[in-house]
Amino acid sequence: MLTQDFAYDLPEELIAQTPIEPRDASRMLVLHRDTRRIEHRRFSQLVDYLMPGDLLVANETRVIPARIEFHKVPSGGRVELLLLKRQEPMVWEVLVKGRKVLPGQRLAATGHHEQRVEGIVVAVTPSGGRLVRFDEPIEHKLDDLGIMPLPPYIHRSLQDTSRYQTVYARAAGSAAAPTAGLHFTNDLIRQCQSMGVDWVPVLLHIGLDTFRPVSEKVVEEHQIHTEYCHLSEEAAKRINKAKAEGRRVIAVGTTAVRVLETAAQGAEQGVRPWQGPTQLFIYPGYRFCVVDALITNFHLPRSSLLMLVSAFADLASIKQAYQVAVDERYRFYSFGDAMLLL
């Protein structure tokens, strides 16, 4: 399967630069997979497509202030680090913006309230990032040291950083938001629950690799990034009960899909509790075990996320839907509009 098959043309002005207000006022393209019929709605009308007994499964990760300005010790040269993933209590995988940041280089940063951290570069990662060993755990200092890491295609500053968090974000650890969940308001969640829809939290900490286009010419040759995920025993019981009773499991975003389908690997039926890294790569030909419907955003060309949604529907249907979305001037990517795949 060729990566080029997942390319499409997008006018730059359709890349959303700011979030829409209120959250659930975004548009929602509804794609019926069996007939390829497309509807144009608002996200606030999601409840029209839900039924009592449905499960909405959402990723409750929280974006950390992961972009931090450091300087080299002793030269003072400026270096920007983007924290991607904690490997050990004091070791982080990071992206580096700066010159000649080699293993052995010491780095230091001072926050707005004079909190200071230091660390040393210990390795270069296969993807070109770095491993940095800090002198102490830094999680409790991030609010003072760092700023919110917006995707590279967003060029405007964000005045209210809470708009790059879901209203249900709980567990800090992501370098990017689970963007399908940004459309939910607390009122909409309560409306869903009041009609008998169950809300099940799972966890996946998102790294920036999720945004990167696949560079290999052949899809199957791509080495998918790993991300930490967790599906609790309680969540597994509720999901398995729903599946046994023929009720729908609706994933809120591709990260929730990745958790669910990872937890289904090796299970006789349904899912099993899961905690740890996932390397599951979903592309057309994958047979879904758990997910019955999907809420998602519009994804970058050649990305693994576009491949995932093309596996859930089919590539021809997704290409058609994306062309319709372009023609109808939908807003794309993280702050953009939503899709509902039924």
Same-domain pairing of 180 and 249: yes
Query: For position 316, what pLDDT does the model report?
Result: 97
The strand pairing partners of 294, in sequence order, are: 251, 341
Same-domain pairing of 74 and 55: no
Residue 252 phi, psi dihedral angles, 5° rounding = -90, 90
Same-domain pairing of 50 and 129: no
The domain boundary, picked from 111, 145, 179, lies at 145
Unique residue bearing structure tokens 């707005």? 112
Unique residue bearing structure tokens 């974006």? 63
Looking at residue 67, its amino acid is R
Residue 268 placed within a domain: yes
The domain boundary, picked from 94, 123, 145, lies at 145
Query: For position 185, what pLDDT does the model report?
Result: 98
Give the tokens for residue 22. 């209120």
Same-domain pairing of 265 and 180: yes
Query: For position 301, what pLDDT does the model report?
Result: 96
Number of domains in the chain: 2
Eight-state DSSP code of residue 263:
H
Same-domain pairing of 102 and 241: no
Query: For position 278, what pLDDT does the model report?
Result: 94
Query: For position 152, what pLDDT does the model report?
Result: 86
Q: Whole domain around residue 88: which residue ranges? A: 67-145
pTM: 0.94
Residue 177 placed within a domain: yes
Which residues, 6 or more positions from 89, have their beta carbon under 8 angstroms from its beta carbon? 137
Residue 154 placed within a domain: no
Give the CATH number for residue 300: 3.40.1780.10
| Residue-wise DSSP of 183-236 | G--HHHHHHHHHTT-EEEEEEEPPPGGGGSBP-SSBGGG--PPPEEEEE-HHHH
Give the tokens for residue 334. 């993280």
Same-domain pairing of 98 and 55: no
pLDDT in tens, 189-227: 999 999 999 999 999 999 877 767 899 999 999 988 889
Which residues, 6 or more positions from 223, have their beta carbon under 8 angstroms from its beta carbon? none
Same-domain pairing of 216 and 289: yes
Residue 151 placed within a domain: no
Residue 90 placed within a domain: yes
The domain boundary, picked from 145, 174, 208, lies at 145
Same-domain pairing of 101 and 248: no
CB-based burial label for 13 (10 Å; 0-12, 13-18, 19+):
exposed
Do residues 117 and 108 touch, judged by C-beta distance below 8 A? Answer: yes
Same-domain pairing of 141 and 48: no
Digitized pLDDT (tens) for each residue of the chain, 342 residues in all: 999 999 999 999 999 999 999 999 999 999 999 999 999 999 999 999 999 999 999 999 999 999 999 999 999 999 999 998 888 899 999 999 888 899 999 999 998 877 789 999 999 998 789 999 999 999 999 989 999 999 889 999 898 999 999 999 999 999 999 999 999 999 999 999 999 999 999 999 998 777 678 999 999 999 888 899 999 999 999 999 999 999 999 999 999 999 999 999 988 889 999 999 999 999 999 999 999 999 999 999 999 999 999 999 999 999 999 999 999 999 999 999 999 999
Same-domain pairing of 177 and 302: yes
CB-based burial label for 217 (10 Å; 0-12, 13-18, 19+):
exposed
Give the CATH number for residue 89: 2.40.10.240
